[in-house]
C-alpha cells in the first residue's frame, strides 16, 4: 500500500466537494477498490468514504417500489428488502458474511463487475439509479464490462426497484469467489417479462430479449424450449467455455421461471 488521504464526510454535498479533487475516489464497502489498491492497480490520492452519510443508508418501500440507499450493505438489503423477496434473496447470497457486511449496493452497481449480482437485479427490474445529479434508467446505466454512465465524481445515492408480480434469481456460482459463473434474474411485470443475465457475456450484464418476448406471451418454461443463446460473445476461461455459459443461461432462465 502507499500513502493517501482518507476523508469521511457526513453529507452528500461534502462528499461531492471532496471528490472534486484530482485523483480522489469514492469508497463504498471497499470490496473491490481496496484489493485493487493493494495490487497497485489503482492509486488514488484521496479516498472519500461514503459509509458515514446517513442519507445513503437504508431500505424503504412505497409507491410500488423498493428504494435502497447507495451506501446500504448487502446484509441490510437481505434483511430489509422483504417487499421484494427475490432482491432480498439475491443480496443474502452475495459473497460471504464478511463481504455482505461491508460491501454496498452503490459500490457494486458503480463497479459493474461482469459477474456481479446487483446489475442483473437492476436490469431485470427496470430499476432507476439515482445520483447526486440525475436519475438514470438501468437500461442506459450499464454500458459494458466495468463501464457505466456515471461521470467523474458522480455518486449513486439510491437504486429504486419496481416490485414485480413475480421474480427469481438463479446463480451458478464459481465456488472459490462465489461470483456468478452465470446468473439470471427473471422479473414479471404487468406490461411484460424482463430477463437479465450476468457472468456470461464479454460485454457485461445484458437482457435476453428473445426470452423476454417468449415469456411475455407464455410465462412457462416450455416457452423457452426452442430458444438458444449465441455463444460467440460469451466469456471463455478456465471455469467454462462460451458454449457452456450459453447453455447455463438457458438452464438458469428455465429454473427461475419454474421457481416463479
Confidence grade of residue 107 (pLDDT, cut at 50, 70, 90): very high
Cell numbers of 168, please? 427469481
* Alpha helices (H) along the chain: 12-19, 33-38, 74-80, 85-91, 97-102, 105-111, 118-125, 138-141, 209-217, 242-259
Bridge partners (DSSP) listed for residue 148: 142
> Exposure string (b/e) for 112-140, b if CB count within 10 Å is 16 or more?
bbbbbbbbbbbbbbbbbbbbbeeebebee
- The overall average pLDDT reported for the chain is 94
Length of the chain (residues): 260
Q: What is the mean pLDDT of residues 206-229?
A: 97
Q: Is the pLDDT of residue 41 over 80?
A: no
Half-sphere exposure of 157 (CA within 13 A, CB side): 15
Q: What is the mean pLDDT of residues 12-20?
A: 92
Q: What is the mean pLDDT of residues 70-79?
A: 98
pLDDT for residue 125: 98
**What is the C-alpha separation between 7 and 257, in angstroms, rounded?**
45
Confidence grade of residue 7 (pLDDT, cut at 50, 70, 90): confident
pLDDT for residue 1: 60
Q: Give the SS3 label for residue 46.
A: strand
pLDDT for residue 35: 74
Confidence grade of residue 23 (pLDDT, cut at 50, 70, 90): confident
Instruction: Give the global pTM.
Output: 0.94
**What is the C-alpha separation between 199 and 41, in angstroms, rounded?**
22
Tell me how crowded residue 257 is: count the other CB atoms within 10 A of its CB: 24
What domains, with CATH codes, occur in the chain?
Answer: 5-49 (3.30.43.10), 54-162 (3.30.465.10), 166-259 (3.30.390.50)
Q: What is the mean pLDDT of residues 40-69?
A: 91
Confidence grade of residue 9 (pLDDT, cut at 50, 70, 90): very high
Q: Reduce the secondary structure of 59-76 to three states and give it as a string.
A: EEEECCEEEEECCCEHHH
Amino acid at each position: 500500500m502507499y500513502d493517501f488521504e482518507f476523508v469521511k464526510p457526513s453529507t452528500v454535498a461534502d462528499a461531492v466537494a471532496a471528490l472534486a479533487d484530482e485523483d480522489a475516489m469514492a469508497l463504498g464497502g471497499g470490496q473491490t477498490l481496496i484489493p485493487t489498491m493493494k495490487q497497485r492497480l489503482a492509486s488514488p490520492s484521496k479516498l472519500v468514504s461514503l459509509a458515514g452519510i446517513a442519507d445513503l443508508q437504508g431500505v424503504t418501500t412505497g409507491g410500488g417500489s423498493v428504494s435502497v440507499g447507495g451506501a446500504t450493505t448487502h446484509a441490510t438489503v437481505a434483511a430489509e428488502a422483504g417487499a421484494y423477496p427475490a432482491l432480498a434473496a439475491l443480496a443474502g447470497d452475495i459473497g460471504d458474511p464478511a463481504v455482505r457486511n461491508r460491501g454496498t449496493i452503490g459500490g457494486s452497481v458503480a463497479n459493474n463487475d461482469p459477474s456481479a449480482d446487483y446489475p442483473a437485479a437492476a436490469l431485470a427490474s427496470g430499476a432507476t439509479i439515482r445520483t447526486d445529479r440525475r436519475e438514470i434508467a438501468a437500461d442506459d446505466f450499464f454500458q459494458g464490462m466495468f463501464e457505466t454512465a456515471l461521470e467523474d465524481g458522480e455518486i449513486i445515492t439510491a437504486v429504486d426497484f419496481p416490485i414485480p408480480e413475480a421474480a427469481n434469481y438463479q446463480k451458478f456460482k464459481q465456488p472459490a469467489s462465489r461470483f456468478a459463473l452465470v446468473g439470471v434474474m427473471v422479473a414479471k411485470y404487468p406490461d411484460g417479462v424482463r430477463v437479465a443475465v450476468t457472468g456470461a457475456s464479454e460485454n457485461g450484464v445484458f437482457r435476453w430479449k428473445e426470452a423476454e418476448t417468449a415469456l411475455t406471451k407464455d410465462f412457462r418454461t416450455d416457452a423457452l424450449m426452442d430458444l438458444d443463446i449465441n455463444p460467440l460473445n460469451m466469456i471463455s476461461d478456465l471455469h467454462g467455455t462460451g458454449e457452456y455459459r450459453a447453455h447455463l443461461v438457458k438452464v438458469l432462465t428455465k429454473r427461475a421461471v419454474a421457481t416463479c
